[in-house]
Structure 1
Amino acid sequence: MDGIRMVLVGPHAGKDIELGGFRFEEGECILPSRGSEHAQRILSRYYSAYPEGSVEGRAAHQAWKKSQEEKSSAGEAAPAVSARDVTQIQDAMEDLRAELEASRRLREELEARLARAEAMKAAGTTPATEAPAAESQEKPPKPGKAAK
């Protein structure tokens, strides 16, 4: 053996792939015997590659197998989505789309107002004040506060 054989564990096991600048062929990569401690640490920590036959590698393989079993059993136990749930989700999506469209229209209107105001400012004229319709009307006096 020329060096330290690193073996991929998990979803990349057995694959031809490049991870972290290291080329794995059939899920294995050989590192030099000397001076590769940092590379081993990086490969183990971030890429699930462990020295062949190591305790850490076996533990990682067992943990990965267990997580896959849990995933498959959880997928089987998941309840089916009812037609009523689908309808509610579709209605909520339509409401969100309508709200998004209203926001887009408001943004476009405000952008147009801003452009007009900037154009008038550049021309040196003062814009006519645009008062909202509700504020431009006189408000009737509140009851109980009649003129004395």
Structure 2
Amino acid sequence: MVQWYRKLYALIISFFSESKFVELEVKNAVLLHTEIGEDTIRNRHTQQFKEGLCIYRKDVYTSFIYVGLMVLLVISLGLFKGNLSLEYRFDIAKLSGFIGTFLASWATVIELGSGMKTRGGTSLVEVIRPMLFKCLFLPGVFLMLTGAVV
């Protein structure tokens, strides 16, 4: 079982350093499959690890675009109907609810779009996916509830 702080580290580097993430993935695979040597795993599976990371990143980015398009559609509809104006009025409750809804929706779309199963849930990409969901969804719910109460 990977500790939460290691999952968080893997989550962060998954977006910024492919080589470090692949190295972590190799170490994770070595720990899980002790009968296979590190060199064997590195030689046979490095390309699979890179492809898994690419699919994961694509899922995250495309789900951001999907939810972003929904936001633009809702804003356009609000402007068209006259319920939303372009004048600047800062309302912390509405802003909090809006951002919270965006984050929770984004996390949900990422999770619903995750059809990738590589090694029975043991790959590092599969391990950090729930961490990403929690990192987006829980603050999103908090902000939505804050917007409703404040």
Say which structure is richer in strand. 1
| Same topology, TM > 0.5 | no
Larger RCO, structure (CA 8 Å, separation 6 or more)? 2
Q: Which has the higher helix share?
A: 2
TM-score, structure 2 length as denominator? 0.30
With the length of structure 1 as denominator, give the TM-score of the two structures: 0.30
